[in-house]
Structure 1
Amino acid sequence: MPLDHRRLRGPEESQPPELWAGVAEQEQEDGAAPRDPYALRPLFARAGLLSQAEGSAYVELGGGTKVLCAAWGPREAAEPGAPAEGGRLQCEFRRAPFAARGARCRPGSAAEREAEREAAAALREALEPAVRLARYPRARLAVSALLLQDGGSALAAAISGAALALADAGVEMYDVAVGCALCRAPGPAGAWLLQPSEAEERRAAGRLTLALLPALNQVSAVLGSGQGSPPDAWAQALRLGLDGCHRLYPVLRQSLLRAARRRAAASTASTTASTASTTASTATA
C-alpha cells in the first residue's frame, strides 16, 4: 500500500499529557486541594499579533485557556438597505477541534454549531455597549474569537480578547470590555469561585459570566445559568465579578500600550530607513 507522505502520521499508541502534569495541578483538578475563591488566575494578554487582520489579540489564562481574536473594519455593509443610524457588529466564536479535553461534540455537528452560535451571541451582547457604532453609519465591524484550548472561563477570556482586538484595530470605543467568570460549588453552602477551571465548571451548580466597562463602571452583559440560589448569593457573585474585572483591567490596558509602542517604534524605524535610502540615492546621483 503506498504511503501518504503529505500527512504526518502519529504514533500507534499515545498517552494524554495530563499523565505528566504536576501533582499539585492534579490535586487541584480532583478537588482535594481547595483554592482561594477570591484569587484570580494569571492572565497574559498581547495585542497586535496577526498581520492579516486590522486588529488582533491573544489572551491566555493560567490553567490552559487560550483564545486568539481578530477584528476587521469598518467596512461597507453588504446589505443595500442597511440602517443609517449606526454600524453593525458581527461576532463569531469558534472552537478548535483540539480545544477540549476528553469527549466533546463532534466537529461540525448540530450541537457544536448551536453552542458556537450561543457563544457568538453572548460575545456580541457584551461588546456592543462598548463600541461607538453611531460613528460608523452603514458600516460593518467584524470580530472573530478562536478558542485554542478550553481550560475554563473561555467566554470571559474571549470577551476580553475581542475587546482588545477591536481597540487594536482603531475602532472607537467607550472602554475596553473586561470579562470575568464565576461558578458556584455544588452543595447548599457552595461558595462562588473567580475564574473557574474546566474541572470546576464541570462540577458547578451555577455559572456566571460578567462583562464590565471599568472606566464607566457600567456592566455591559450578565450571563448566568445553573440551579437557583438565594438572591443574596447572586448579589455576592456580582460583587466578586466586578472586583475581578477591575483587577484585570490594568493588564489589558498595558497590553494595548505595549502594542502602540511597538507600532510607533516600527513606524519610526521604517521612516528612518526610508530617509537614509533617499539620502544615499541623492548622494550617489
Structure 2
Amino acid sequence: MPLDHRRVPGPEESQTPLLFVPSGAKEGEPPPAGDAPRDPTALQPLFARVGLLSQAKGSAYVELDGGTKVLCAVAGPREAAGGGGGAPSREPRGRLVCEFRRAPFSGRGARGRPSDREPELSLALQEALEAAVRLARYPRAQVEVSALLLQDGGSALAAALCAAGLALADAGIELYDLVVSCALCKAPSSEGGQWLLQPGEPEERAAAARLTVALLPSLNQVSGLLGSGEGGPPDSWAQAVRLGLDGCQRLYPLMRQSLLRAVKRKTALTQEPSETEAVEPPAATA
C-alpha cells in the first residue's frame, strides 16, 4: 500500500494541553487568592525597548509583567493619499492614521481572535495620539501608526498607547509630549467593588467596569479616556480617573529612560571609529 507523504504522522492518542496547566490558571477561573490582598494602586512592572524594527521609521516594544506584549511601528510622514483634489485649506494639517490589530495567537479562546472591537480600539488609539502629535508641522502629510498585540495579558490598549508614544518619538515626529497610559477595572460588588490599577487578564474578565486613561504628563493634559461598564456613581469614576493619572505620572520616568537609552545606542552606532577610540600605530621593531 503506497504511503501518503502529505499526511503528518501523529500519535494514536492525544491529550489536551489544559491538563498540564496549574490549577487555578485555567481559562475563566479567577486568580488564586494569596495571603495578602492586591494593592489597588500597584503598577505592573513594565519593560520598554525602543528602535527594534529596522524597516520602520520608528518602533517600540512594551511588555507588562502580566503577560501583555505589544509591538508598535511608525511609518511616514509621507504624502497623504487623495490630497490633490479640492481647494486647499487655509491651515493644512497632517493626518494621523492608527491601526490596532490582534495577533491570532495573542490569547486563548475569543480573546485570541480578531474581534469587532479592533476598529473601536484603533479609533481610541488615534484620538489619544492626535493630541500629542504636532500635525500642523506636517501639512498634507500622513503619519501611520500600527500596533500589534502579540499577547493579551490585560491592559492591552494602555500598553499599545505607551508603545505608540515611544515609537512616534523614535521616528522623530514632533510631539508636544510623550503619551503615557494606564488601565483600570472595577471588581464586582461581591469582591468589594474597588478600582484596580493595571489589571491582568483574569481581573479584566471578571470586572464590572473598565477604564483606560491617556495622559501628557509634562502638560498635565488628558489626551484619551475610554470607559465602559457599570462603574457606579460619578464620584467612583472620578476616583478611577485620579488613580489612573497618578499611575501615568509614575510610569513617565521609566518611559523617558527607555527613550534616552535608545538615543544613546543610536549615537554610539553612528560615531566614527576615530571619535570613539584612538588607534595606536604598531611599535617599531629593531
Alignment TM-score, normalising by the size of structure 2: 0.85
Deviations 1:137-177 (A, max 9, x none): 00000010000000000000000001110100000000010
Q: Does residue 30 of structure 1 match 2:31?
A: yes
Q: Does residue 209 of structure 1 match 2:212?
A: yes
Distance 1:31 1:274, change over 3 A: closer
Q: Distance in 2 between matches of 1:116 and 1:223?
A: 14
Unaligned runs of 5+ in 1: 277-285
Q: What stretches of structure 1 move > 6 A for 4+ residues in a row?
A: 8-11, 23-26, 273-276
| Structure number with higher helix proportion | 1
Q: CA deviation at 1:29?
A: 4.5
Distance 1:196 1:145, change over 3 A: same
Q: Residue 264 of structure 1 corresponds to which residue in structure 2? A: 267
Q: Does residue 183 of structure 1 match 2:190?
A: no
Q: Distance in 2 between matches of 1:14 and 1:265?
A: 49
Q: CA deviation at 1:267?
A: 0.1
Q: Residue 92 of structure 1 corresponds to which residue in structure 2? A: 99
Secondary structure of the 1:78 match is coil
Within a 5 Å distance, the mapping from 1:32-71 to structure 2 comes to 32-33=33-34, 34-71=37-74
Alignment TM-score, normalising by the size of structure 1: 0.85
Q: Distance in 2 between matches of 1:61 and 1:150?
A: 10
Higher alpha-carbon deviation: 32-41 or 149-158 = 32-41
Contact 2:18 / 2:26 at 8 angstroms: preserved in 1?
no
RMSD: 3.0
Report the residue type matching 2:216 in the other structure: L
Match of 1:138 among 119, 137, 140: 140
Contact 2:103 / 2:112 at 8 angstroms: preserved in 1?
no
Deviations 1:23-79 (A, max 9, x none): 8999x9425233110100000001000000010000000010000000011101111
Q: CA deviation at 1:103?
A: 3.8
Q: Distance in 2 between matches of 1:126 and 1:197?
A: 22
Q: Distance in 1 between matches of 2:103 and 2:135?
A: 30
Q: Residue 233 of structure 1 corresponds to which residue in structure 2? A: 236
Contact 2:231 / 2:237 at 8 angstroms: preserved in 1?
no
Q: Distance in 2 between matches of 1:20 and 1:57?
A: 33
Q: CA deviation at 1:105?
A: 6.7
Q: Distance in 2 between matches of 1:258 and 1:9?
A: 48
Deviations 1:176-211 (A, max 9, x none): 100100000001741100000011011001100000
Secondary structure of the 2:109 match is coil
Unaligned runs of 5+ in 2: 278-286
Q: Residue 164 of structure 1 corresponds to which residue in structure 2? A: 166
Contact 2:129 / 2:223 at 8 angstroms: preserved in 1?
yes
% identity of equivalent residues: 63
Q: Distance in 2 between matches of 1:106 and 1:145?
A: 16
Distance 1:105 1:62, change over 3 A: closer
Secondary structure of the 2:17 match is coil
Secondary structure of the 1:30 match is coil
Q: CA deviation at 1:272?
A: 2.5
